[in-house]
Amino acid sequence: MRRIRVMPPELAQTIAAGEVVERPSSVVKELIENALDAGATRILVDIRDGGLSLIRVADDGHGIPRADVPLAFESHATSKIDSLDDLERLATLGFRGEALPSIAQVATVELQTRSAAEDVGTLYRTEFGSARPIAATARPPGTTVAVTHLFGNVPARRKFVRSLRAEAAASQSVVAQYAQARPDVALSLTIDDRQTFLSPGSDSLEDAIAAAQGAAILPNLICLDWEEGGVRVGGVVSTPDVTRQNRSAISFFANGRPIANRSLGFALEEAYSGYLMTGRHPLAVVHLTIDPSLIDANVHPAKSEVRFATDRLVHGAVHHAVANALADHRAAVRPVGGLDYDQDDPATRATLRPLPEMDAPAPPMLQDLPALRVFGQTNAAFIVAEGPQGLYMIDQHAAHERILFDRLDAALDAGEVASQPLLEPTPVTLTATQMQALEDNGDLLRSTGFELEPFGDDACLVRSIPALAVRAATADLTREVLDELAVLPEPAAARERALAAMACKAAVKAGQTLDVREMREIVFQLERTPRPATCPHGRPTMIHLSHSQLEREFGRR
């Protein structure tokens, strides 16, 4: 019989580390949280080989004073809380003091940091738990943590790591989550030297969502703005016509921390009942602001689950916030019957505009575009036209993109995207990421009219392309679509971005002179699309100057 023994400390630490550092993306998560807790405004994440060769997170936060650096790597050492009281009123993402020591236990970690009060930075290196002496280094204030040889000493853990691409995708989701949690912070992710994610840090949730899920979604989002029993519910949800096959596009944040809480998801979906088909799920980015003492973040080693002291209150607030937003949206949309809708009525405008605080040029609010008469083209980029409600300036590229996107989308739904065989198969050289995207997305590519065959290690043979995209340069088109497919882990978003890339490459360009027939054709087609006002990337296709606006501009009103 085996005797019970106390583990040697190193084994105990490695086992404990496993709870925090489950896979490379857990490291990315902990390091981003530390950067955010340090007040960073910019966070640059670099990973290589799914994170196994390198995870580097650089921030411009307040840094660590030299004397504290070794302490940061001690178990249960934290600058964030002092007492149980602090834990009750947690304002930071971290508090366990376990991340750096756990990571250092299973990898080589190099930390470079400088606090604003110091002139010289500090370099600290530890290899699988054993530290090297501290050295000086020149660097701007902030902190960079580079993690290499992850799981080099725990082969068992390394075996559980999935494909490098899946690990990279998991890290990308983490970065995208924090970008949506904190739109005021700019986050960038580079995977194997290619930047795959960038949020601007503009403090606009929209911009962060556009970075995370593609701007195409923006016109279909409605704002939440609700407060109940001390719980503030903000963020956005999708209109019922935009749905996903799973719940992966539903995110909740509590005081800026991404949280998993299954019952919150139910409270949200409950509000959609009657709006959604079974098996379909909305998209949602919900920000809760709640007294920190009512949240217990200390229920999970990776802090990804939280408990609320007032569960029912929080659920009720989410449910009501969403139900009301949906009801308002419905009330606002129904009376819009094309022509008799007053663009200038501030009330209509406020309720219809999906995201009122948008500071980009507001797209026209028309749901249906009336029949327009084309006058001509200006700057070889814009079509000028007149309708019963005034003057329209249409971006020829954006408009054509919208037309092609909607046609591709409908054809793909119907499973009949026309494919155009090329006269001769064309070889196109590809990067490793593009090759991987080709391998992973065979079905989607075939269904959109591509016939691509791997050709050696770094190229493919293009036999057919989507018929709608025949204007596009084959190599360009193929690479662009594969790039889009490489970036996003979420299948519905990948499809949308791939279609948007095709539409973009196939559409007429700005700078292209169009004859009147071509312009009429674009306007005619645009009138027939369900969402004429924005291109697939969410930018406006047109600017509308109503008669009353013209009169006002000319001082007639």
406: phi then psi, degrees, rounded to nearest 5: -65, -35
| Contact present, 557 and 344 (Cβ < 8 Å) | no
Instruction: Say if CB 369 and CB 528 are below 8 A apart.
Output: no
CB of 25 to ligand ADP, least distance (A): 16
> Which entry of ligand ADP, Mg ion, none binds 538, CB below 5 to 8 A by partner kind?
none
Restricted to residues 79-138, the positions that interact with Mg ion (CB under 5 A) are 94, 99
From the CB of 36, what's the least distance to ligand ADP, in Å?
9
363 binds, among Mg ion, ligand ADP, none (CB under 5 to 8 A by kind): none
27 or 365, CB closer to ligand ADP? Answer: 27
- Which residues are CB-contacts of 184 (< 8 A; sequence separation ≥ 6)? 41, 201, 202, 203
DSSP annotation string for 141-199: SEEEEEEESTTTT-HHHHHH---HHHHHHHHHHHHHHHHHH-TTSEEEEEETTEEEEE-
State the minimum distance, in angstroms, from the CB of residue 193 to ligand ADP.
Answer: 23
Q: Pick what 72 binds: ligand ADP, Mg ion, none; C-beta below 5 to 8 Å, kind-dependent.
A: ligand ADP
Q: Tell me the torsion sign for CA atoms 147, 151, 157, 163.
A: positive
Q: Which of 29, 56, 96, 544 touches ligand ADP (CB under 6 A)?
A: 96
Nearer to ligand ADP, 64 or 326 (CB): 64
What phi and psi values does residue 222 have, to the nearest 5 degrees? Answer: -120, 145
List of residues 6+ apart from 133 with CB closer than 8 A: none
Return d(Cα 452, Cα 438) in angstroms, integer: 8
Q: Nearest to residue 357, comparing CAs of 208, 244, 256?
A: 208
Contact with ligand ADP (CB under 6 A) among 17, 32, 45, 64: 64
- Select from 18, 97, 183, 240 the one that contacts ligand ADP (CB under 6 A): 97
Give CA torsion, residues 214, 220, 221, 222, to 10 deg: 170
- Quick one: 79 or 447, whose CB is closer to Mg ion? 79
Encoded amino acid at 52, one letter: L
Residue 520 contacts residue 374 (beta carbons within 8 Å): yes
Helix (H) or strand (E) holding 387: strand 382-387
* Count of residues that interact with ligand ADP, criterion CB under 6 A: 22
Per-residue binding letters, 245-274, with ligand ADP (x by CB under 6 A) = ------------------------------
Nearest approach in angstroms of CB 249 to ligand ADP is 29
x/- contact string, 19-58, with ligand ADP (CB under 6 A)?
-----------x---xx-xx--------------------
Considering beta carbons, is residue 17 or 502 the nearer one to ligand ADP?
17
- Own/partner pairs, 332-338, CB within 8 angstroms, 24+ separation: 333/367, 336/367, 336/368, 337/368, 338/366, 338/367, 338/368, 338/370
Candidates 44, 45, 47, 99: give the one binding ligand ADP (CB under 6 A): 99
2 vs 76, which CB is nearer to ligand ADP? 76
Considering the rule CB under 5 A, would residue 34 count as an interface residue with Mg ion?
yes
Is the Cβ of residue 99 or residue 306 nearer to Mg ion in the bound state? 99
> In the complex, what is the shortest distance from the CB of residue 523 to ligand ADP, in angstroms, rounded to a whole number?
53
Q: Which of 24, 94, 536, 538 binds ligand ADP (CB under 6 A)?
A: 94
Give me 456's structure tokens: 């050696």
x/- track of binding to ligand ADP for residues 71-90 (CB under 6 A): -x-----xxx----------
Residue nearest to ligand ADP (CB): 94
Closest residue (Cβ) to Mg ion?
94
- According to DSSP, residue 325 is labeled H
Residue 172: how many CB atoms within 10 A of its CB? 23
Give 99 or 189: the residue with its C-beta nearer to Mg ion. Answer: 99
Closest-CA residue to 477 (of 491, 492, 462, 455): 462
* Shortest distance (Å) from residue 61 CB to ligand ADP: 5
Q: Least separation, in Å, of the C-beta of 189 and Mg ion?
A: 19
Tell me which amino acid residue 545 is: L
- Residue 302 phi/psi, 5° resolution? -95, 10
56 vs 407, beta carbon nearer ligand ADP: 56
Residue with Cβ nearer ligand ADP (178 or 272): 178
Instruction: Tell me, by CB under 5 A, how many residues bind Mg ion.
Output: 3
Comparison of 38 and 237: residue with beta carbon closer to Mg ion: 38
Nearest distance from C-beta of residue 236 to Mg ion, angstroms: 29
Phi, then psi, of 46 in degrees rounded to 5: -125, 130
Stretch that binds ligand ADP, among 93-101, 167-175, 315-323, 507-515 (CB under 6 A): 93-101
Q: 487-497 in b/e burial notation, b at 16+ Cβ within 10 A?
A: bbbbebbbbbb
| Residue 401 interface partner, choices ligand ADP, Mg ion, none, CB cut-off 5-8 Å depending on type | none
Distance, in Å, from the CA atom of 188 to the CA atom of 197, rounded to the nearest integer, reads 5
Residues of the chain by 3-state class (helix, strand, coil), percent to 5: 40, 25, 35
Helix (H, G, I), strand (E, B) or coil at 338: coil
Closest approach of ligand ADP to the CB of residue 103, in Å: 8
In the complex, least distance from residue 100 CB atom to Mg ion, rounded to whole angstroms: 7
List of residues contacting ligand ADP (CB under 6 A): 30, 34-35, 37-38, 59, 61-64, 72, 78-80, 94-100, 143
Which residues bind to Mg ion, rule: CB under 5 A? 34, 94, 99
